[in-house]
Structure 1
Amino acid sequence: MAGSPVAKTPHFALHRAALSSAHEGRALFPVADAWLGVLLPKRWAKRAVTRNAIRRQIYEVAREKAGGLPQAALVVRLRSEFSRQQFVSATSDALKRAVRAELVQLLERVAPRGAAAVPGHATSASGDFHAV
């Protein structure tokens, strides 16, 4: 999070870190794979039900894109509020569609060239991406 985001959308920022620590020379995680963390501040999503709905969308889109994610530690950060006037319900289908569309756009920006997710491929906790 110390560096600038590697990708942004109107509501999200994506931060990336190498899997090995430069100053200690040891691995941050036990497996060289895609690791995903989520940061959803109450400042931008006041209701817990909204934060949980957004978090579920982030993990689901990452699962779909798992084959195309780089081997790195990734953090998806909510950086602005979804309008409560436009999305009145905390878990509306319209909100979920808007979140999903931005997340697909965000994760496609960091996918290595030529890498594509395997259609119908769902990963488990020990699969292609790991939740942090």
Structure 2
Amino acid sequence: MQRLRTRSQYEAAMAGGIISRTAHFVLHHAALEVPAANAGPESVRSRPLFAVRDEPWVGAVVPKRWAKRAVRRNGIRRQIYDVSARFAPTLPNAAHVVRLRMGFAADAFKSAWSEPLKKTVRAELLSLFESLGTRRDEPKARPPSVIPTASRAAPAAPTIIPAKAGIQGVQK
């Protein structure tokens, strides 16, 4: 398992889309780009974004907005990397970012990194990665979209607003 290091790697991984979410975490996923076969001289000088393509790449985003204390941010980040290392054999060879999307209640835990908080974070991360495994195995079938016939009706005619001081307007 490789770790994301640069801003461009994180941006590329987060642009791919969300594949799993829990109450506090979101898992973003993006396929590793394939280098072009007929690369011009400009692209020869640039290095690939993901050098290793036979392993999954994992990154963690834990913003200060949701975890004010550095102790809590670092603890959550450690848990993210530990759980992702456990699931690395089952992860596809792609770039993944686990993002904290909501803070844990400060009044519910007595310290910034207490045992109950560790257990709560770990349990939620386990469910995040386990739900990824079950979703990947299930076929993705979307229900057909049904549009009611009432919404297909012709739009109402525009109403004319009386003129004020020489200005006339039409309201849709």
Interval containing the TM-score (normalised by the shorter chain): 0.7 to 0.9
> Following TM superposition, by how much is the alpha carbon of 1:72 offset from its aligned partner in structure 2, in angstroms?
0.7
1:49 aligns with 2:71: yes
Alignment TM-score, normalising by the size of structure 1: 0.77
Partner of 2:132: 110
C-alpha contact (below 8 Å) 2:15/2:30 kept by paired residues: no
Where structure 1 has 5 or more consecutive residues not aligned to the other structure, the ranges are: 114-132
Partner of 1:92: 114
Q: Please name the residue that 2:18 is paired with.
A: 5
Q: Write the distance in 2 (CA, Å) between the matches of 1:88 and 1:80.
A: 18
The alpha-carbon distance between structure 1 residues 68 and 3, as it changes in their structure 2 partners (threshold 3 A), is: closer
Residue of structure 1 in register with 2:161 after alignment: none
Specify the structure having the higher radius of gyration (Cα). Answer: 2
Shift of 1:34: 0.6
Structure 2 runs not aligned, ≥5 long: 1-13, 38-47, 138-172
- Paired position in structure 1 for 2:50: 29
On the 8 A contact 1:70/1:110 being kept in 2, the answer is no
Output the CA distance in 1 between the equivalents of 2:68 and 2:105. 12
- Please tell me the root mean square deviation across aligned C-alpha atoms, in Å: 1.8
Alignment partner of 1:16 is 2:37: no
Q: How many residues align?
A: 111
The secondary structure found in structure 2 opposite 1:109 is helix
Secondary structure of the structure 1 residue equivalent to 2:98? strand
Sort the Cα spacing of 1:71 and 1:87 in 2 relative to 1 into closer, same or farther, 3 A: same
Larger proportion of helix? 2
Deviation at 1:3, TM superposition (A): 4.8
Verify the 8 A CA contact 2:29 2:94 in the aligned structure 1: yes
1:83 equivalent in alignment to 2:113: no
Cα offset, 1:108, TM superposition = 1.7
Aligned-pair CA distance for 1:82: 0.2
Check whether the contact 2:17–2:30 (CA below 8 A) recurs between aligned residues.
no
Separation in 2 of the partners of 1:94 and 1:75? 24
Aligned residue identity for 1:66: A
The Cα shift of 1:107 comes to: 1.1
For the structure 1 residues 75 and 84, does the alpha-carbon distance in structure 2 shift closer, same or farther, using more than 3 Å as the test? same
Kindly indicate whether structure 1 or structure 2 has the higher relative contact order, using CA contacts under 8 Å at least 6 residues apart: 1
Q: Percent identity?
A: 52
